[in-house]
Structure 1
């Protein structure tokens, strides 16, 4: 695969893919670490098929993702055989969508997540760890609760894919730091709120939130930057990218730690049109003015569909 893309991908966005992948390899080979962000619905697009191996081979060292990407990799792990693909999704009428809802199928583009087999199955197990922490007066991050569920083995009998194809399983095995800003904006976040409302969970702060995540990220960045240059590989835009990249100007400008190194590599896979005032559509150079990147930071933007591009970049980085 790597030989194929290096031979054929010579110009325009194709060339940007190769340049970004080659620079990724150089960054890691030179002792750098890579921070990766996941927006969109990349877990439902089964990014774990390629991302899990990246984690296992030490090519990814921390992740920031939406709450949806965190949970949907686990949904896929236990309910894959019950997912329904809708290849003609562009032709669906409003009545067709109502029919999917009646079957408890929640559509993500061409793929429907089955509510009972995926969402409710996870709810039953994760509620136990939420309540155990609540009763013990303890608090954990959303990803830590997911790690607890995976390590408990209570989902093992429900696995419907090879666990080696789950990026969350790989991250759990590596005890990878995961940042999940805005976790409340997810299915499990909504479910957690419902259990707080009905009294199943007494302390709403049993699950830690975004400010605590930023504090955790600041500590990780400071400690890691003492030893290695930290790269930033961004898939999509939104909060998964904007939240963590701001840790550098926060450390430098708000905490006045003027020796804070900026991100040492930057690449974004984006299908957003370059636009005015849009973070997702901002070109990398704009980040220099915010103290996130430096003039000499290797900077790349691949304007394409991440479901196509990301596995190709990963294949190049892995030498496949």
Structure 2
């Protein structure tokens, strides 16, 4: 532990049983993955960007402890929204006590609530809309097509948003990803504010749907990336549930079963942080062993499930991996 910082030492000393022990076990196994040159996919569901996970996740990207990210469209855009509109966010600690009338009042103020945090529509969504529309339109007029995250990378790297920055740019994980040209997969991007805005332009005839690369193209990209990078194994670190995790993990059975590439290796590490417990047909609450039956994990794949709040647990695991 001589190279580990105070947070890591605290975890090793006190996190000894139950979910706490799983945190340390998962962190150590993740570290082993890195040491043996295995790649790691991290999936982000929920509102991790609004929870400001970027403060530490950006450093994970810079230190090359994550090789590819699968995230929801919300996490892609909300990291950038926090970057340009942070001072306009409103925290509502008593969110559990709000009446429907009070919720309506937040809507009238242009404040869209995510648990205890309200995202300011005008300063966040609309501030990005002007610039991203131009990038979409320019690409279309040039006969070019890109993935949703590639358009976001272009916007960030162009510098057009610098005038709006309200937090340290080093705390934006999407900016860190853009600088590193980190591979991203954003399944179901249409189910996001920017996706809705793009669709509105298609309805108005101002953009073509084909300008945006599709989810099928994301899957074919991922299939190619997995095939090229799986020599030393690829791990799967899943934060939350939903499509951000379900979509990319399916690339293995797709390669193995549908493309009949029988030499395709299984994911060689799996960890999920989730507060969803096993119930009737729950994907997010399914124990890792269920994934063996779907051809995603092998019998001896290291498997960890941490039934806890990802906003508490993920930063601790990342701190351990960063030797904090």
Give me the TM-score of the superposition, normalised by structure 1: 0.99
**Rounded Cα–Cα distance in structure 2 between residues aligned with 1:48 and 1:118:** 17
Contact 1:47/1:311, CA 8 A, preserved across alignment = yes
Q: CA RMSD in A?
A: 0.6
Aligned partner of 1:234 in structure 2 is 238
Contact 1:230/1:264, CA 8 A, preserved across alignment = yes
Aligned partner of 2:73 in structure 1 is 67
Say whether residues 1:209 and 2:220 are aligned partners.
Answer: no
Alignment of 1:212-291 (within 5 A): 212-226=217-231, 228-291=232-295
Structure 1 residue runs of 5 or longer lacking an equivalent are: none
| TM superposition shift of 1:224 | 0.5
Contact 1:276/1:282, CA 8 A, preserved across alignment = no
Say whether residues 1:172 and 2:182 are aligned partners.
Answer: no
Q: 2:304 is matched with which residue: 290, 295, 300?
A: 300
| TM superposition shift of 1:136 | 1.4
Contact 2:39/2:230, CA 8 A, preserved across alignment = no
**Rounded Cα–Cα distance in structure 1 between residues aligned with 2:175 and 2:181:** 10
Aligned length: 318
Give 3-state SS (helix, strand or coil) of 1:289's partner: helix
| TM superposition shift of 1:151 | 1.0
Contact 1:38/1:66, CA 8 A, preserved across alignment = yes
| TM superposition shift of 1:276 | 2.9
Q: 1:138 is matched with which residue: 113, 130, 144?
A: 144
Alignment of 1:81-120 (within 5 A): 81-120=87-126
**Rounded Cα–Cα distance in structure 2 between residues aligned with 1:72 and 1:93:** 26
Structure 1 segments, 4+ long, off by >2 Å, are none
Structure 2 residue runs of 5 or longer lacking an equivalent are: 1-6
